[in-house]
Structure 1
Amino acid sequence: MDALTPLINGLNLHAKLVYSGGVCGRWRMDHNSETSVWFHLISKGQGFVHSPNWQTPLVLNKGDLVLFLPHAARHFLSYSAEHLPDTDKDTRMTPWKEGEAGFVCGEIELATPKSLLWQALPGEIVIRQNQPVNSLARLIELIIGEASGQRFGSDSVIERLCDSLFVLVIRYCIEEGLVRKGLFAAMQDKRLAMALGLIHQQPWHAWTLNELCTRAGVSKSVLSEKFTTLIGHSPIKYLTVWRLQIAAHWLMQPAMSVERVAERCGYESVPAFSKAFKRHFGVAPGSFRRV
């Protein structure tokens, strides 16, 4: 198994469909968030992104996809390149067929939005309709087809397709060289990817540097140097960080007790887990769950 799959599965990332339909009038969208990834797929017509990161508003046409991570600059989507309404009071939501423009909008909540994992990705990711020539392009076509058809269960289908959308976007960023440091960049190195895959698949295992090197077929000096250069942590330190990352996501699930999370993350006791968690996040696991 590759390193990305168990990472996504371990973090239990799921897209929440917020809107699928049309918009009319002098519309404006404000979907800024410090904790979520927001994505907007243009399913019909045209829209414009107003952001300080672009000298002029960014035009989006049918089939274009834009994602905003929590560290993106404050931005707005609008009906016009020349005019940004002060509020959304003139925005009219309509069925897809009646809209001047159509959107599929959703969010993916992150338990640790300020982690180096997400900071390594661009704050704004724009994928044009004519850019991807692979499964991402086909997935976008499927989502637009469901959004425009509005058949029984369309919203449910769209939401499940959007789960895969984010994974394919991360793959796109890796393959297009949009990440040059951090975990996603490290996945491009086959030996690092092997070690990362082992850590991601079995975070509860008591990995040692020797065992990781043996399994990945690389020397201790090379693995340690590459981890430190690209990820910013030693392999064993990264193991601890990864355990705490997935612990934070598991704590967001009501059915998961602190005791169960500690066990699944490989800690021998709840006090040991709580101490490590508080050292890393600044709050105890129970308090983190209530935030």
Structure 2
Amino acid sequence: MDALTALVNALNLRAKLVYSGGVCGRWLMDHNSDTSVWFHMLSKGQGWVHSPSRETPLALESGDLILFLPHAPKHFLSYCAKHLPDDASDNRLTGWEDGESGFVCGEIELATPRSLLWQVLPAEIVIKKNQAGDILAKLIELVISEASGQRFGSDSVVERLCDSLFVLVIRYCIEENLVGQGVFAAMQDRRLATVLGLIHQQPWQPWTVAELCSKAGLSKTVLSEKFAALIGSSPIEYLSAWRLQIAAGWLMEPGMSVERVAERCGYDSVPAFSKAFKRYFGNSPGAFRRGRKANETVSVLSKTV
């Protein structure tokens, strides 16, 4: 299993479909989040991205994909390059056939949106249809086709396809050299990728630097220098941080106790886990879980297309 696959599997990233269909009139989309990746695929017509990171609005056309990570500045999508409505009160949502423009919109919640893991990715990722490459372009086409067909189970199928979509987007960023540091950049080094794969697949193991070096065929000095240069930490510091990042995701799973999460992450006791978690996140595991669930409720109530 490669390092990226192991990372994605451990984080259990899942897409949620928020809207699929047509839109008419002086429409506005306000999909900003501090905790989620938002993605938009245009199936027909046009749309414009209004963002302070751009001097002029960006035009989107059929087959284009854009993603906004939690560290993106506040932005909007609208019907026009020259006019940005004050709110979404003029939106007219329609079926796929009747819309002047068509969209598939969704989000992927991140348990640790402020971690370096995600911060090193571009805040706004735009992939034009002619830049996507064969596999990603075909997947976008498949998502749009399935969403617009509205057959039994279509929403579920679209969500699972979008899980794969996000993985392909990360791979696109790696292959297009859009990340110069962090874990995704380190994955391009074959021997570092071996070490990362071990950590991502088995974070509960009490790995030592000597064991990781033996598996990757690296000296301790070289491994430490490569980790410091690309990831900004030692291998053991990264292992500790990784354990806590996946712990944050497990805490959000229904029925998962703090005791069980501590055990799965390789901690000898709940107090040791809670101390490490609070030092890393600033909150105890219980407070973190309560805060994220409260944010989810607010997010659901405030979504606007």
TM-score tier by shorter-chain length is: over 0.9
Report the counterpart of residue 300 of structure 2 in structure 1: none
Give the conservation status (yes or no) of the 8 Å contact 1:204–1:266: yes
Give the conservation status (yes or no) of the 8 Å contact 1:251–1:258: yes
Q: SS where residue 67 of structure 2 aligns?
A: strand
Give the conservation status (yes or no) of the 8 Å contact 1:43–1:147: no
Q: Does 1:198 align with 2:201?
A: no
Report the counterpart of residue 277 of structure 1 in structure 2: 277
Q: For residues 1-291 of structure 1, what are the structure 2 equivalents within 5 Å? A: 1-291=1-291
1:214 maps to a residue whose letter is S
Deviation per residue, 1:116-161 (Å, 9 max, x gap): 0000100000000111223211101101111222222221211111
* Moved segments of 4+, more than 6 Å: none
1:181 maps to a residue whose letter is Q
Distance 1:164 1:19 in 2: 18
Distance 1:132 1:86 in 2: 33
- Structure 1: give runs of 5+ residues left out of the alignment: none
Distance 2:151 2:276 in 1: 49
| C-alpha RMSD of the superposition | 0.7
Distance 2:132 2:66 in 1: 13
Distance 2:105 2:236 in 1: 38
Distance 2:243 2:106 in 1: 27
CA drift of 1:254 comes to 2.0
CA drift of 1:76 comes to 0.3
What is the percentage of aligned positions where both structures have the same residue?
Answer: 75
Give the conservation status (yes or no) of the 8 Å contact 1:96–1:147: no
1:225 maps to a residue whose letter is E
Report the counterpart of residue 298 of structure 2 in structure 1: none
2:134 maps to a residue whose letter is N
1:42 maps to a residue whose letter is L
1:65 maps to a residue whose letter is L
TM-score w.r.t. length of structure 1: 0.99
Deviation per residue, 1:244-287 (Å, 9 max, x gap): 00000000112210000001000011111011101111111111
Q: SS where residue 19 of structure 1 aligns?
A: strand
Q: SS where residue 256 of structure 2 aligns?
A: coil
CA drift of 1:185 comes to 0.4
Distance 1:112 1:271 in 2: 21
Distance 2:89 2:41 in 1: 22
1:227 maps to a residue whose letter is F
Distance 1:87 1:23 in 2: 15
- Structure 2: give runs of 5+ residues left out of the alignment: 292-305
1:28 maps to a residue whose letter is L
Give the conservation status (yes or no) of the 8 Å contact 1:42–1:61: yes
Distance 2:237 2:159 in 1: 35
Number of residue pairs matched by the alignment: 291
Distance 1:223 1:134 in 2: 36
Give the conservation status (yes or no) of the 8 Å contact 1:43–1:101: yes
Give the conservation status (yes or no) of the 8 Å contact 1:38–1:69: yes
Distance 2:290 2:149 in 1: 40
Distance 2:289 2:114 in 1: 17
